[in-house]
Amino acid sequence: MANVELVNLTKNYKRGSEIIRALDGVSLKIDKGEFVAVVGRSGSGKTTMLDLLGLLLKPTSGSLLIDGVDTTKLSDRDRARMRARRVGFVFQEYNLLSGMNVLENVTLPLRYVRDAKAAGRARAIELIDRVGLTDRITHRPTELSGGQMQRVAIARSMVNSPSLILLDEPTGAVDTETAQQLVDLLKRLNREDQVTIVLVTHDLDIAGEARRQIRLKDGKVLTDERVGEAVGAA
Amino acid sequence: METIRNVLRHKLRSFLTVLGILIGVLALTTMGALAENFNALLDGGVKYFGGSVQVGPPDGQAASLLPLSKIDEIKQVPGVSAAFPAYAFQAKPGQITTVSFGVPDTIIAGDPQENQWSALKLTTTQGHYLTGSSGEVVLGSTIDKEFNKKVGDTIDLPVRPADAKPDFVNHTFTVVGILNVTRTAPDTFAYINTTDGQMLLKDSLPIAIRDQIDVSKISEGFDVYGAPGSSLSQLDKIADGINSQVTGVKAVRPSTVVTSFKSGGAIFTAITTAAALLALIIGGLSVVNTMFMAVAERVREIGLKKAVGATTLNVMGEFLLEATFIGFLGGVLGYGLGALITIIANATTPAGQPTLFLITPNLTILSIGFAIALGAVAGVLPAWRAARMDPVLALRSE
């Protein structure tokens, strides 16, 4: 069973009297444990697609299934619960809370999942160790480098053991060397935890590290390629 | 923990907001304590006057002198179980009457048995109540402090004024008991026996008629009691009976007196509480302002929390908790400071003056509870705005 399935997914925006088709009838499947890069020019629909996958937006039409659940039929509350349990987010600007230390930032999502705190704390400590920040566990974000902050954000995205992690330009705010280290970390976590990763980027070098590349243009899938094979447009 | 951290994020702003609530609660506590003290005084009046029928001269008669024989006629009225002659004199004649929250020092003369019938039972903290022997006095708690007396001491009553005329007369009484605090009229009363009261009555008469009147046969008024536990309406009926059956006296319906006391108390409480609540509501508006600013500053944080699974209720709850905490902090500090001020004010009240403030459990609950509720209510609108925020826009806000 596919981890994520988009069926004729469409998202329109209204700008005055004009209707913008940000995502235009996209259908595709992403299997569990895949590492997918979504690329495309600005305005191609990749961020809208990420927001839809993260259940932050509701589609205008079509269906989005995550782990077999049709998310388009869920209430706002159930969508929030699904985000808490099955989806992890990593943003370009890290979005760490400045008043919290590393451990508190990583455990933030646990407060929205019932009965997750006790086991979740142990997992948070383990994840902080896996991203190499054990010696920074009590540090505030202002005491960390960009790369370290993004590693904290990656640990936070995995603390609830989600099946899907969504990354929005995660290397956009760090230098090339740090970006490569982050991609290596993501590949390792993807391999070790079999977690599905969908990464949005305009950096083709970073996208080249993924095992599958989906190229969007004008809200439609232009190409969908796995490493070494062309899958074709959906 | 995060709530405290968020409040402390902008220390000066939070301090000023808490200060706003603090000032409001301080006003509510002190004004409330003033009203509670006044109400305690009135409650005593309600208890006393609501438990007996006061009989005095008819309307239009200035002199309050009634034949003692009227007491037998009054006892014939249906429903009357007991009647006692009553005498009252200024304890400090010549004293200038000023606006006060207490009753002036007064000498009350009557039958010691009357205390068994009164709804306001007097109990002693030292010594014992009147036995009926001549020359005894039982002092209320305030008047006792004023003259610094203990059981066995003597006191001259009425107190000689500084500018007393040569013919001023007073008498020496032995203190046989000191009353427990009642927070109402008896605190400033000195109780003596009927015969001593008649002696003071004679002293108070004009010289021209003093020797022509047998004070053992007259009274200034009567306190009339129904069967123990009589209701206000039953006592009203007794008053009506006295007015229709006994000539030359007027009985006041207890319900009239009680209503008058209660309306006086209600107006005073309304004025003081309204003034304090106004101050508190202004403090509450500062919480609204602070919370709106907090929401505006934490847009990305709200977006992030929603992205990682916070529901609308979760976000709303977090901001409501913060506003409630500010209310709680201001409430506890304001109440603490207000209570401290009232304690100091009461402690420094000159001996013989009634204390002005009374902190009651109800006032404590009202002061702190209202501040917490105000904080919560003030947080609703900002919390709602935070909770309804679009996570996509919030996450990408600058």
Query: What does residue B177 show for φ and ψ, rounded to 5 degrees?
Result: -165, 155
Between CA B271 and CA B39 the distance in angstroms is 13
SS3 (DSSP) at B66: strand
CB-based contacts of A176, cutoff 8 Å, min separation 6: none
Query: What does residue A27 show for φ and ψ, rounded to 5 degrees?
Result: -130, 125
pLDDT at A62: 95
CB-based contacts of B163, cutoff 8 Å, min separation 6: B94
**A232 pLDDT tier (thresholds 50, 70, 90):** very low
**Cβ–Cβ < 8 Å for B57, B249:** yes
Query: The tokens 């429903």 sit on which residue?
Result: B79
- For residue A60, what is the DSSP state? S
Both ends of chain B: CA-CA distance in Å? 27
Four-residue CA torsion sign, B206, B207, B213, B218: positive
SS3 (DSSP) at B7: helix
Closest chain A C-alpha to B350 CA, distance in angstroms: 53
At residue B15's C-alpha, the angle toward residues B278 and B385, to 5°, is: 75
pLDDT at B125: 93
Burial code (b: 16+ CB inside 10 Å, e: under 16) for A39-60 equals bbeeebbbbbbbbbbbbbbebe
Report the 10 Å Cβ neighbour count for A95: 22
pLDDT (tens digit per residue) in A93-151: 889 998 899 999 999 999 998 877 778 889 999 999 999 999 999 999 999 999 999 99
SS3 (DSSP) at A163: coil
**Cβ–Cβ < 8 Å for B130, B136:** yes
Among A80, A93, A100, whose Cβ lies nearest the Cβ of B310? A80
**Cβ–Cβ < 8 Å for B172, B155:** yes
Between CA B24 and CA B283 the distance in angstroms is 6
| Residue A197 CA: distances (Å) to CA of A50, B46, B275, B276 | 11, 78, 62, 59
Contact call for B301 and A97, based on CB within 8 A:
yes
Between CA A203 and CA A170 the distance in angstroms is 10
Among A57, A99, A113, whose Cβ lies nearest the Cβ of B309? A113
SS3 (DSSP) at A61: strand
Between CA B317 and CA B385 the distance in angstroms is 12
pLDDT at B318: 93
Query: The tokens 């990420």 sit on which residue?
Result: A50
pLDDT at A231: 45
Between CA B277 and CA B273 the distance in angstroms is 6
**What percentage of chain A has pLDDT greater than the value 70?**
96
Between CA B71 and CA A151 the distance in angstroms is 97
- For residue A228, what is the DSSP state? T
CB-based contacts of A14, cutoff 8 Å, min separation 6: A20
Strand partners, B136: B174
Q: What is the pTM of this model?
A: 0.74
Residues of chain B below pLDDT 50:
none
CB-based contacts of A188, cutoff 8 Å, min separation 6: none
Query: The tokens 């890069």 sit on which residue?
Result: A37
Among A54, A99, A100, whose Cβ lies nearest the Cβ of B307? A54
Note whether A54 contacts B: Cβ–Cβ < 8 A: yes
**Residue of A48, A57, A83 to mutate when probing chain B, most B C-beta within 10 A:** A83
**Cβ–Cβ < 8 Å for B304, A96:** no
| Residue A122 CA: distances (Å) to CA of A41, A79, A87 | 41, 26, 19
Q: Which of B308, B257, B39 is nearest to A113 (CA)?
A: B308
Burial of B57 (0-12, 13-18, 19+ CB in 10 A): middle
**Cβ–Cβ < 8 Å for B258, B53:** no
Contact call for B311 and A99, based on CB within 8 A:
no
pLDDT at B55: 92
pLDDT at A234: 39
pLDDT (tens digit per residue) in B272-327: 788 877 877 888 888 999 999 989 999 999 999 999 999 999 999 999 999 999 99
pLDDT at A230: 43
Pairing relationship of beta strands B136-139 and B171-179 according to DSSP bridges:
parallel
Query: The tokens 């200024």 sit on which residue?
Result: B90
Contact call for B392 and A89, based on CB within 8 A:
no
SS3 (DSSP) at B250: strand
Residue A203, pLDDT > 90, answer no
CB-based contacts of A23, cutoff 8 Å, min separation 6: A9, A10, A11, A45, A48, A49, A52, A59, A219
CB-based contacts of B311, cutoff 8 Å, min separation 6: A76, A77, A80, A81, A112
**Cβ–Cβ < 8 Å for B226, B93:** no
**Cβ–Cβ < 8 Å for B301, B314:** no
ipTM above 0.85, yes or no: yes
Q: Which residue of A has its CA nearest to B3?
A: A99
CB-based contacts of B317, cutoff 8 Å, min separation 6: B383
Contact call for B309 and A81, based on CB within 8 A:
yes
Q: Which residues in chain A are contacts of B317 at CB distance < 8 A?
A: none
SS3 (DSSP) at B139: strand
Among B2, B312, B395, whose Cβ lies nearest the Cβ of A95? B395
CB-based contacts of B138, cutoff 8 Å, min separation 6: B122, B124, B127, B129, B130, B175, B176, B177, B178, B179, B190, B191
DSSP string, A189-217: HHHHH--EEEEE-S-HHHHTTSSEEEEEE
SS3 (DSSP) at A123: helix
CB-based contacts of B265, cutoff 8 Å, min separation 6: B38, B39, B42, B43
**Residue of B308, B313, B322, B393 to mutate when probing chain A, most A C-beta within 10 A:** B308
Note whether A13 contacts B: Cβ–Cβ < 8 A: no
Between CA B180 and CA B173 the distance in angstroms is 20
SS3 (DSSP) at B165: coil
